[in-house]
Structure 1
């Protein structure tokens, strides 16, 4: 077996890369009967490569190592074990079909899923939507223990009076290290539990028996306000499942579109007499 690197000074050669055609057919390296052409390297070289010499050297070495593995595989495997023609053809066909399908989906598929369809799916399969974690609606705030107007903050955290939320948002924007005030949305309680100085082990008991509470460490005070909650194992609300259902319906839509495409192509092939069954 012959391995050859042709005596090309890569550094000097690279100075002329910008002037070379990507059809340049000079040989850079060879392994047995396989040749690596300069055009092959130029085709793979990024337009904004930082170190051209390093790229070429790495590319050549990688190519040589790969060709050596292929050469030895062909020499040492039995004819049965190295007969991959059908697998290669199947893989190529799969890649072509996938690329064509994706292009058609991008061009023609309407990806909008109606709100009514999501709600209908949720109601139809409602028994499948069980919570795997505890969820809650509420507020979570972390402030430095030396932050001003702590007493005011403690009132605002629990208040549902008109204007109180705006005042709370204003306070948090100025003084909070971290805050979550979207108390009209369901969220996993574990997300905030993990931020506390000490983990609440009995989440279900805590949610069932707590409205508003604070914790602290050496630097910060952590406020939690619970407006509503649902426990693990209970029915998961639609808002928690909406994105998941949308993806399910969108995938179903894609499958139906592609099946319809196959049927149309088949009928078109028959009509144009491009299909012959012997």
Structure 2
């Protein structure tokens, strides 16, 4: 592509796209590049790229042209080295198109008709019927923890507040976390994979704690930080996960079962209606 045309093109892009947001050509379309019998025109270029908000429009245009030329050369080379059967994709394209049509219709059907609400009763019933499918691959724990640097003040009081069973100290803990903790979790209602400890406190000490974690007070330290972990409950690997831990997973399973049933019923209804109205013939 000659330099004069490149600069003219860039100027046109900058002026017209800024003013109007589109390109309109008068007369015959200007050809920008050619590979064999295939041509890249201005119209094709502007349909393929957007220069809105682009600082270096010249580079963007030249990169696109180079990419188009290389792609066309590769296609040309491939066509020269492949048989007619190898480049005949009509059946595959038709099959792919049909799959996309069906997929789009099924998604629209699901969007319009699927009941996504799952009650706690449904979750619990599914859990009880399929409890063996929810065996844990690792231990879970419920607890609260505070991570702090070793020079943080008031650590003796903090340990007393954290490891005490008295709720009176919850405000003290929350206030301490706000001021001094580098990481803190005081909610004891959630089951957490024990492996998460290594994320909270990535050190050799955390690996040892994961192996030896026990109810109550657990403390690990390294040269810079300390993790105080108050464990309220533990479930071992191989045991059934608590229903609240797999609740969202079960909801997803139930919704997917409904989805499959909805689609299957729709297919059957379509078939039965077509049969009743004699919309198809089978020749055997």
* TM-based fold match above 0.5: yes
Spell out, residue by residue over 1:49-93, the C-alpha distance to the aligned partner (whole angstroms, 9 max, x if none): 413333322222222222222222222112222222111221222
2:213 corresponding residue in structure 1: 207
Alpha-carbon contact 2:135-2:239 (below 8 Å) kept: yes
The counterpart of 1:41, out of the listed 29, 45, 48, is: 45
The counterpart of 2:171, out of the listed 153, 159, 166, is: 166
Alpha-carbon contact 2:194-2:210 (below 8 Å) kept: no
**Secondary structure at the counterpart of residue 224 of structure 1:** strand
2:12 corresponding residue in structure 1: 13
2:32 corresponding residue in structure 1: 28
CA shift in 2, pair 1:76/1:266, >3 Å: same
1:224 corresponding residue in structure 2: 229
1:138 Cα deviation (Å)?
A: 0.8
- The yes-or-no answer on 1:252 pairing with 2:249 is no
Alpha-carbon contact 1:138-1:182 (below 8 Å) kept: yes
CA shift in 2, pair 1:265/1:130, >3 Å: same
Segment drifting more, 51-60 vs 238-247: 51-60
Question: Distance in 2 between the 1:185 and 1:82 partners?
Answer: 57
Segment drifting more, 118-127 vs 264-273: 264-273
Question: Distance in 1 between the 2:16 and 2:258 partners?
Answer: 48
CA shift in 2, pair 1:203/1:214, >3 Å: closer
1:130 Cα deviation (Å)?
A: 0.9
**Secondary structure at the counterpart of residue 30 of structure 1:** strand
2:96 corresponding residue in structure 1: 91
**Secondary structure at the counterpart of residue 59 of structure 2:** helix
1:73 corresponding residue in structure 2: 78
1:21 Cα deviation (Å)?
A: 4.7
1:275 corresponding residue in structure 2: 280
The counterpart of 1:126, out of the listed 124, 131, 137, is: 131
Question: Distance in 2 between the 1:126 and 1:6 partners?
Answer: 72
Q: TM-score, normalised by structure 2?
A: 0.84
**Secondary structure at the counterpart of residue 152 of structure 2:** coil
